[in-house]
Amino acid sequence: MFVETPARACGIDFGTSNSTVGWLRPGQPSLLALENGKPILPSVVFFNAEENTVSFGQAGLKEYLDGYEGRLMRALKSLLGSSLMEGKTEIQGRSLPYKELLTQFITELKHRAETAADRSFDQAVFGRPVFFVDDDTAADDKAEVTLEAIARTAGFREVSFQYEPIAAAYHYERQINHEELVLIADIGGGTSDFSLIRLSPQRALAADRRDDLLANSGVHIGGTNFDRQLSLEGVMPLLGYGSLLKRGLTMPSSYYMNLATWHTINQAYTSRTWADLQELYLDTQAPEAMDRLLKLIRDRAGHWLAVQVEEAKIVLSTGNSAALHLDRLAPGMRHTLTRIEFEKASAELVEQIGNTLGTLLAKAGVRSEAVDTIFFTGGASGVPMLRERIAAILPTARRMEGDLYGSVGAGLAVEAKRRFG
């Protein structure tokens, strides 16, 4: 799409792990700078209790990791469509609705985009996964309605939505010079989404693209799920996960599930949890592991551990082992995770994502050899065994990789220009 004048609207990719804002204008990159001159803003909010301030993105994560007292919130998008969305959480002595938390982040995202663009935005196209919630149409619809209401509260007058993989397709379409049948594989922090779509420079000129789209599908599995499974498989046993009590029962798993899941980590810090763990400590056959668990919770270091696991996942996507420095659990403590452990932990997730793709092809009535290109985007698309599983389903398709964190936002900018001028 040739751009003669700046677009009136922006495209917003509010992601589980990271967020971007796209805006088309002549001769400029599609993505706006949101933090330290870079286009990616981690979807993080940190309430600093010592300074009584609120920080976002890398700055917020740094304050938390530097040891400031406070409350870190991450993976906020995962709340949409969940029962937690209607609830509240304790922040610096007051009860804050989760909707207000999301509104704070979207408002900050809008402010930073407007500062970078040196203009205001009243209209926006938001990206959304194919399914916010699997197998529940009512909850999925409610999630979109909730996000629209949040966007309007944040200051957007007109809000519309586009599926994230379709947005990525429009970004890829600007790079090709002939027609292709393309599978967009958008593996983000919270969902894996697929679109099968015909793309070409000529088709890009059409106002109505409905006939080009053959099928969409998705599943609520993404990078944070890989983090969770790697944590449960390789790290939580160090804290007593799977250990036995003297009564012969297994240690309850709910505490570990909360700590391994980004958007529920703070639930591990309740007074009820602490009281329960004190009782379980008297019954454990693994007191050393329980000591580590209690220290982690007492220090409210769950997000610190989750960052360690996430970084290990990234290392294991290219290497055979990753070293974790766990001094906050015990002095000098080190632990190594291996690629084999990562693949074992991820196997079921990879299979579920592969099955989702197989269902999409069947729904579209398309043979695998008819697909010309697989376009990978989303940070979790770099997981090797997942990429190989997708490629095995479409063995004749060439593999292309977009900007793993920016393709959706750039494509939403194209859609915003198309819809709002």
Q: Give start and end residues of each alpha helix (H) in 20-163.
A: 57-65, 98-117, 137-153
* Mean per-residue pLDDT over the chain, rounded: 94
The pLDDT of residue 301: 95
Q: Domain segments of the chain: what residues? A: 10-178+403-420
Confidence of residue 194 (pLDDT cuts 50, 70, 90): very high
The distance from CA 196 to its chain's CA centroid, rounded to whole angstroms, is 22
Type of residue at 336: T
The pLDDT of residue 205: 86
Is there a contact between 235 and 322 (Cβ–Cβ < 8 Å)?
Answer: no
The pLDDT of residue 3: 59
The per-residue DSSP string of 258-301 comes to HHHSGGGGGGGGSHHHHHHHHHHHTTBS-HHHHHHHHHHHHTT-
* CA atoms of 384 and 30, how far apart (whole Å): 28
Type of residue at 97: P
Confidence of residue 207 (pLDDT cuts 50, 70, 90): confident
List the CATH code of the domain at 10-178+403-420: 3.30.420.40
* CA atoms of 232 and 241, how far apart (whole Å): 8
Is there a contact between 381 and 17 (Cβ–Cβ < 8 Å)?
Answer: no
The distance from CA 149 to its chain's CA centroid, rounded to whole angstroms, is 21
Strand partners, 245: 284
The first and second tokens of residue 216, run together, are 């969409």
The model scores a pTM over 0.85: yes
Q: pLDDT exceeding 70 applies to what percent of the chain?
A: 99
The first and second tokens of residue 279, run together, are 């009782």
The first and second tokens of residue 240, run together, are 């007593």
The pLDDT of residue 2: 53
Position 391 pLDDT exceeds 90: yes
Instruction: Report pLDDT digits (tens) over 81-106.
Output: 988 888 898 888 888 999 999 999 99
Burial per residue of 363-386, b for 16 or more beta-carbon CB atoms within 10 angstroms, e otherwise: ebebeeeebbbbbbbbbbbbbeeb
Instruction: Report pLDDT digits (tens) over 128-137.
Output: 999 999 889 9
Instruction: Report pLDDT digits (tens) over 231-242.
Output: 999 999 999 999
The pLDDT of residue 91: 87
